[in-house]
Amino acid sequence: MVYCIGHSIISPLGEGSQANFDAVQAGRTGLKIHTDRFADVEPFCASLFDTPQSFVPLCIKSVEQALVYGSLSMVRSSDTIFILSTTKGDNLDLWTSAQAIARHFCNTNPPVVVSNACTSGVCAQITAQRLLEAGMYRQAVVIGCDLQTRFIVSGFQSFKALSPEPCLPFSPDRKGLNLGEAAATIIYSQQPIANSQQPFWTLETGSIHNDANHISAPSRTGEGAYQCLTDVMDGVTPDEIALIGVHGTATPYNDAMEQTAIERAGLQNVPKNMLKPFFGHTMGAAGVLETILCMKEAERQKTQKPIHVIKMLSGFGGVNAAIRLKSEY
């Protein structure tokens, strides 16, 4: 396992993990109908920054907000690796963007970009855990970020995947997904922060499985998602799980597939944490942003200790991923 030693969220709902969590608690949403953001594109419902953002500066700000005071030396260290989760970045050269972010913090290790469609944010955390547990690095800065563009919105519209209204995950009335943009960072370390009074979270385990069914439609039996859930449940029972952060894109097939996988894994009584009605689908940022908010929600509940949460995602290419985190005092 590896320790979470910092996190941050920057979204249309505000800056800071706490501010974003408070916004969700207050029922605020970033979703709005946009009619003239991009040429030719039909009106769409999405959560976008009021002022268009630049990718690299946004990621840098996200990392800065995740660092606690005095850890600039940590990010500069050769023991630290930067891992970026994004689907399209801000231009087509994703690796150069990642390098620019790392270089800003004077980190000279070549960064890693995870490009596993919408599961990237969870896969990036799994990659971080493996690199740290293998002793290759001692810290990993995991950044998830995506900004919406005409390229992405037009593509999802061609898939008829978008809902014209705010999305309704797992509802029988669901009509599709909304897009979103955000930047989120989680910093993992081999060691916990010394003398911390706060509960600390550990990333216990993660799993990635392909449905091997279709490149853009999920398996009707939720095969890959089910295998991921089974893997991350190894060693714990369903009543130890405080909540599942579902993918919950509100497309007819995705939510049905997730429900099937959750039932097959015996997790149907675990509360679902659904965040896309607040943030939209933030693509490469989703796995990181939604994991942070699962942690915050579990902390709020204070139901039992230790607390476990699961975050699951699926994406184009038939890929599914899940992680389980644990909180202890």
Partner 1 sequence: MLNAESYIEITPASVVRNGQPIAVSETGDRMLVELYRRYAGDYPKFFKMDTLCRLGFIAAEILLKEPTANSQQPTAIIMANRSASIKNDTDYLATISDGNYYPSPSLFVYTLPNIVTGEIAIRHHIQGETAFYILDTPEQLETIVKSQKSKTQSPEPILCGWVECSAANEFYAKLQIIWNN
Partner 2 sequence: MEQLIDQLKAQIIEALNFEDMSPADIDPDAKLFGEGLGLDSIDALELIMLMDREYGIKLTDPKAGKAIFQSVRTMAEYIQANRTK
Select from 189-197, 209-217, 281-289, 319-327 the region that touches partner 2 (CB under 8 A): 209-217
Q: To the nearest whole angstrom, how small is the minimum distance from the Cβ of residue 286 to partner 1?
A: 14
Q: Which of 18, 216, 268, 269 binds partner 1 (CB under 8 A)?
A: 216
Nearer to partner 2 by Cβ, of 115 and 213: the residue is: 213
Work out how close the CB of 277 gets to partner 2 at its nearest, in angstroms, rounded to a whole number: 23
We find the least distance from the C-beta atom of residue 269 to partner 1, in angstroms, to be: 27
CA–CA distance, 111 with 106 (Å, rounded to integer): 12
What is the closest distance, in whole angstroms, from the C-beta atom of residue 287 to partner 2 in the complex? 25
Among 146, 181, 204, 211, binds partner 1 (CB under 8 A): 211
The DSSP annotation for 228-297 comes to: HHHHHTTT--GGGEEEEE------HHHHHHHHHHHHHTT-TTSPEE--HHHH-B-GGGHHHHHHHHHHHH
Place of tokens 């087509």: 92
Asked if 159 touches partner 2 (CB under 8 A), the answer is: yes
Residue 127 interaction partner, one of partner 1, partner 2, none, beta carbon < 5-8 Å per kind: partner 1
* Structure token digits, residue 73: 């030396």
| Binding partner of 217, given partner 2, partner 1, none, CB within 5-8 angstroms per partner class | partner 2
| CB-count burial class (<10 Å; 0-12, 13-18, 19+) for 213 | middle
Contacts of 289 (CB under 8 A, 6+ apart): 9, 11, 20, 121, 144, 182, 184, 275, 279, 282
By the rule CB under 8 A, 160 interacts with partner 2: yes
Identity of the residue, 134 or 212, whose beta carbon is nearer to partner 2 in the bound complex: 212
Please name the residue that has the structure tokens 């249309």: 12
Q: At what angle do helices 17-25 and 286-301 cross, to 10 degrees?
A: 70
* Ramachandran angles phi, psi of 286, nearest 5°: -55, -50
Our finding on whether 303 is near partner 1 (CB under 8 A) is: no
x/- map, 131-170, partner 1, by CB under 8 A? x-xx-x-------------xx--xx-xxx-----------
Distance CA(177)–CA(156), nearest Å, equals 9
Amino acid at 321: A
Beta carbon nearer to partner 1, 26 or 39? 39
What proportions of the chain, in percent to the nearest 5, are helix, strand and coil? Answer: 35, 25, 40
Contacts with partner 2 in 129-158 (CB under 8 A)? Answer: 158
Q: Which is nearer to partner 1, 110 or 271 (CB)?
A: 110
Residue type, 100: A
Of 51 and 158, nearer to partner 2 (C-beta) is 158
Interface residue with partner 1 among 36, 69, 173, 212 (CB under 8 A) is 212
Judged by beta carbon distances under 5 to 8 A according to partner kind, the member of partner 1, partner 2, none in contact with residue 318 is partner 1
CA–CA separation, 186 vs 284, rounded Å? 13
Q: What is the CA radius of gyration of the chain?
A: 18
Interacting residues toward partner 2 by CB under 8 A: 158-160, 214-217
Interacting residues toward partner 1 by CB under 8 A: 39-40, 87-88, 92-95, 98-99, 110, 112-117, 123, 127, 129-131, 133-134, 136, 150-151, 154-155, 157-159, 207-216, 223-224, 227, 315-319
